[in-house]
Amino acid sequence: MSTLICGSIAFDSIMVFHDRFRNHILPEQIHILNVSFLVPEMRREFGGCAGNIAYNLKLLGGDPLIMATVGDDAGPYLERLDGLGLSRAHVTHVPGTYTAQAFITTDLDDNQITAFHPGAMTQSHLNKVSDARDVRLGIVAPDGRDGMLEHCRQFAEAGIPFIFDPGQGLPMFSGEELVACLQLADYCTVNDYEARLMCERTGRTPASLSGELKALIVTRGGEGSEIHTGGQRIDIPCVRPAAVEDPTGCGDAYRAGLLYGIEAGLDWALTGRLASLMGALKIASRGGQNHTPRRDEIAERFREAFGTTLW
């Protein structure tokens, strides 16, 4: 049985400006801003929430099935999926579009200027959950707005439990739409900022929102995470990473841990700890899909971090 991952596939073009933006942006001239940054260092990474989550779930030994939309330039990404053994049966090509992509320029103070082109992602509603077979669990991760709303409804109609993961797409939804998605979902995961925004949009408290779900998971970066379930809060510690290289994709790695734990029937304490470990393994490398721990190495790191076995 597969885990259906509805979300984006994207390219991330990351450029490094060997100076500081503040040396070239004059506050008194911001109304006529016209600047150019020389970026001699550049790399292109495979990304997108669906791609990243599937990559990490595959590392854990899961069976991820990606549902996403891509453009005319998706060739290298599709070849990568083939090489990783990830099915692209539900990766839909939208002719005349580009694959979603982010252009990120970082300065020496780690400030970032990002431009994001959604491209084919805006057509994610073309994909239907009912087209996938033998699906036991799912997730609706950041994607085109209409696609996210439709996939929530379709998972619920199919009786497939799923995680609602609004992420950076959360501002696209009204309070009423967020509540509707939570009522359809079995689980929801957000970071602490997104949790506050969701409460502001809906006019409800975290305790009230968690009552709509089997579990509400809130990540807090280096402070760990919280799982609200059954009227209780389970605190999950942060795992100390081997190095801190790049936070890009850490949330997606965390979500892969959640999906694996739910599908495997692990209790919430183990599930949260596995998710925390996956985020720590990812942050030690650049890009969302360049860490390569084997399954036995993940189990060993889990034992070292928590003093207990995982499988």
> Could you tell me whether strands 225-229 and 41-47 are parallel, antiparallel, or unpaired per DSSP bridges?
unpaired
The yes-or-no verdict on residue 110 having pLDDT over 80 is: no
Pair of tokens at residue 113 = 């200027």
**pLDDT grade, residue 34 (50/70/90)?**
confident
**pLDDT grade, residue 31 (50/70/90)?**
confident
- Percent of the chain whose pLDDT exceeds 70: 100
Q: Given this model, what pLDDT does residue 311 score? A: 81
CATH 3.40.640.10 fits 2-6+51-89+123-306, yes or no: no
Q: Which residues contact 37 (CB under 8 A, 6 or more apart)?
A: 15, 17, 19, 21, 24, 105
pLDDT in tens, 138-191: 999 999 999 999 999 999 999 999 999 999 899 999 999 999 999 999 999 999
Q: Given this model, what pLDDT does residue 27 score? A: 81
Q: CB-hemisphere CA count at 13 Å for 135?
A: 27
Q: Given this model, what pLDDT does residue 310 score? A: 86
Q: Given this model, what pLDDT does residue 260 score? A: 98
Q: Model's pTM, two decimal places? A: 0.94
Per mean pLDDT, which range of 30-34, 45-49, 231-235, 251-255 is the poorest? 30-34
pLDDT in tens, 55-84: 999 999 999 999 999 999 999 999 999 999
Decide: residue 145, CB within 10 A, 0-12 exposed, 13-18 middle, 19+ buried: middle
Give me the chain's average pLDDT, please.
Answer: 95
pLDDT in tens, 227-244: 999 999 999 999 999 998
SS3 state at 159: coil
pLDDT in tens, 131-148: 999 999 999 999 999 999
Place of tokens 């995470």: 225
> What is the Cα–Cα distance from 210 to 298, expressed in whole angstroms?
30
The yes-or-no verdict on residue 7 having pLDDT over 90 is: yes
Neighbours of 93 (CB within 10 A): 14
